[in-house]
Structure 1
Amino acid sequence: MMIVIKSKVGSRGQIVIPKIARDNLGMIEGSGIIIELADDGIQIKSAEKDILSKWSRIAEEEGMDVKKEIKYGDRLYEEIF
């Protein structure tokens, strides 16, 4: 799935990565990014190699029991499909 979002460059050359994009990539303040330059534009990627690990870490920091949630998700998947 590709989402296209229009944004602007600020006076100091800064851009804001919209919330929907940050949420989908699991980006939080201080997250690393990779900027790839090409002839026709730039591409910004999350520097996190394993986004699921990052989401798990954030969930645990928020007090969630990730292993319990995964087991529940697996059981729910089996019931539905």
Structure 2
Amino acid sequence: MPLVFEGNVIRFDGHCTVEEALTLAQALVDIKDVEIVLSSCESMHTALLQTLIAGQPKITGVPQSKDLASLIRTLVRSEG
């Protein structure tokens, strides 16, 4: 499961695909004070990135890919 739900924390794990976008969007609406952890994320479909940009959740952790980490830092509010 690319998105792992642990209370108000959503951890991106491995290769996160477009199929997860709707689940993520709904979770950003439903979960109060949601935190996104990207330290285990190896890749992310652009639909997920767009959802993070729109939802502006608290994001922690740095994706494994240097390119993805740089993109995240540039496009979304990140806590580290």
Alignment TM-score > 0.5, same fold: no
Could you say which structure has the higher strand fraction? 2
* TM-score, normalised relative to structure 2: 0.23
Tell me the TM-score normalised to structure 1 length: 0.23
